[in-house]
Amino acid sequence: MKLSLCGKRVIEYNPLLRYVPRRGPKVALVYPAPYSVASQSLGFQLVYALLIAHGISVERFTWDSCGRSLERGTPLKKFKYVISSLSFELDYPYLAKMLKDYGNEEQKVIAGGLSVTANPIPVLDMVDYVVLGDAEPTIPKLAQMIFEDDLREEEWLVGESGKKAIADIAEEPMLSKQFLPLSVDPPWGKGFLVEVTRGCPHRCRFCLEGWVSKPFRERRIEQIERTLEEVGNPFEKIITISLSLSDYGKYKKYLEILANHKLQGSVPSLRVEGIDEELLDMIKRMGQRTVTLAPETSVKEKAKVLGKGFAAKYLKEKIEMILSRKLKPKLYFMVLPNENVENEINNVKRIVKSQAHLSVNPLIPKPWTPLQIAPIPGEREEKALRRFKESFPNVDVYPVKWARLQAVIGLSQEPVMRYLDPSLSPERQVEELSKVISLKELMSWRPQWWPKWMRYEISNESEVIELGQESYEAWMRAFRG
């Protein structure tokens, strides 16, 4: 199938295209990032397949499709209904720009995805409805409403209040048909996406995905096995989607399936506790070279704030196990507000010497997580990240300017999408947002905070508040000075 990406021809493998109804209501499905990235969003692929399965005539739009559909070049403004995947705050400026440049005032814009489920408020000036929660229980009903041209109130379709919809993935069919770009390379390669689990049983206090996609759910291994039997050319690898693969009851069996599959397999970041010799041998057999871990910290006081962390000695043992198999470790660490990072740096030097790749991020407070009450990152964190750069040869750090923009958008209690513009620097966008949001408030801890998004039922409110308070007290004891 040939697609038009802003006049450029792109070739795509798309087993779903022949099922797109010619007659059904027309919907524009928008992903506000490049086409190659859209193809690796499980959410985008899933919504696309579900809309088609429920009789909707879907045409896809991406950031690089110049306001025209990939399939037929239809202009975005011709669609009465626009559905967009929004899983990341930094995608909002791109959707805002696409709607301003190519949309029309009359169309109904509906968004769903992880970050808007956590806090739908920031987008409500340009988006008419936000779908809270999973696609499987909501998209079929949404498709029905579009058929009837009547968007009715549902608890998962946001107005003043709302409640997250939760899919039982053990019972839902797996996404077995996926489109794949053939003439451009997706960021993780030409992979078939396999969702093994959804949600996470852990409660790391900074983690948006962990809190918002609860509860932890597992796919049946027989279903995965059956789906994978059918996967081959033109896919070149199997990409595992799971927040916490080692918690999957059948994870060793799953890895065995991957190791024996004709395509190369890949697994995401793994829990440190899940690492053992058998697991590493299987990872090696399936052809993956890097093992990614996110210990976040090796300092006890920080672990009390983050709700996650590992003693340096324990971490060192795991890294040695990885290195002894000639696999490359990649490790994620986090910097806290006002932290003196020298302890962490000294520990990490002892743990990994120079053999690991490090990635260091500032803590980004996110809605519906206990650490939503933490200060947004600023100059102090910038200095701390610089210290990491000076101390290790192999480190990348997440820029504070982007972390700050993410946090300010995510924690907004006012609709702000119209202020966002991807052609402006992140600093300028934060400046624009400061016209409606009090940055001063966000720059310090906010114990006792009960932000407006908590009126939607997304996660466990008392747990979020109690753990937030515990984190704040732990931070006060260790880092206030």
Q: Taking a C-beta distance cutoff of 8 angstroms, is the pair 235, 191 a contact?
A: yes
User: In the complex with ligand SF4, which residue's Cβ is closer, 200 or 371?
Assistant: 200
Tracing tokens 């993780």 back to the chain, one arrives at: 188
User: In the complex with ligand SF4, which residue's Cβ is closer, 190 or 214?
Assistant: 214
Q: Which two tokens stand for residue 288?
A: 């993956």
CB of 463 to ligand SF4, least distance (A): 12
For binding to ligand SF4 (CB under 6 A), which residues are involved?
200, 202, 204, 207, 209-210, 243-244, 271, 308
CB of 464 to ligand SF4, least distance (A): 13
CB of 248 to ligand SF4, least distance (A): 13
3-state secondary structure 198-218: ECCCCCCCCCHHHHHCCCCEE
CB of 296 to ligand SF4, least distance (A): 8
CB of 84 to ligand SF4, least distance (A): 24
Torsion sign across C-alpha atoms 461, 456, 372, 86: positive
User: In the complex with ligand SF4, which residue's Cβ is closer, 271 or 318?
Assistant: 271
Radius of gyration of the chain (CA): 22
User: In the complex with ligand SF4, which residue's Cβ is closer, 237 or 308?
Assistant: 308
Is the preceding peptide bond at 234 cis, omega within 30 degrees of 0? yes
CB of 200 to ligand SF4, least distance (A): 3
Burial label for 275, CB within 10 Å (0-12, 13-18, 19+), is: buried
* DSSP per-residue codes, 392-447: -SSEEE--HHHHHHHHHHHT-SS--GGG--TTS-HHHHHHHHTTTS-HHHHTS--T
C-alpha 87/C-alpha 109 separation (Å) is: 16
Contacts of 479 (CB under 8 A, 6+ apart): 301, 305, 336, 337, 338, 339, 340
User: In the complex with ligand SF4, which residue's Cβ is closer, 266 or 429?
Assistant: 266
CB of 363 to ligand SF4, least distance (A): 12
CB of 206 to ligand SF4, least distance (A): 7
Residue nearest to ligand SF4 (CB): 210
User: In the complex with ligand SF4, which residue's Cβ is closer, 43 or 73?
Assistant: 43
User: In the complex with ligand SF4, which residue's Cβ is closer, 71 or 134?
Assistant: 134
* DSSP per-residue codes, 107-146: SEEEEESHHHHH--GGGTTT-SEEE-B-HHHHHHHHHHHH
User: In the complex with ligand SF4, which residue's Cβ is closer, 429 or 459?
Assistant: 459
User: In the complex with ligand SF4, which residue's Cβ is closer, 191 or 210?
Assistant: 210
C-alpha 284/C-alpha 64 separation (Å) is: 37
CB of 243 to ligand SF4, least distance (A): 4
Tally the residues of the chain: 481
Q: Which two tokens stand for residue 72?
A: 């037929």
Query: In the Cβ-directed half-sphere of 63, how many Cα atoms lie within 13 Å?
Result: 18
User: In the complex with ligand SF4, which residue's Cβ is closer, 268 or 447?
Assistant: 268
Contacts of 226 (CB under 8 A, 6+ apart): none
Burial label for 215, CB within 10 Å (0-12, 13-18, 19+), is: exposed
Tracing tokens 């489920």 back to the chain, one arrives at: 117
User: In the complex with ligand SF4, which residue's Cβ is closer, 36 or 246?
Assistant: 246
CB of 269 to ligand SF4, least distance (A): 7
CB of 294 to ligand SF4, least distance (A): 6
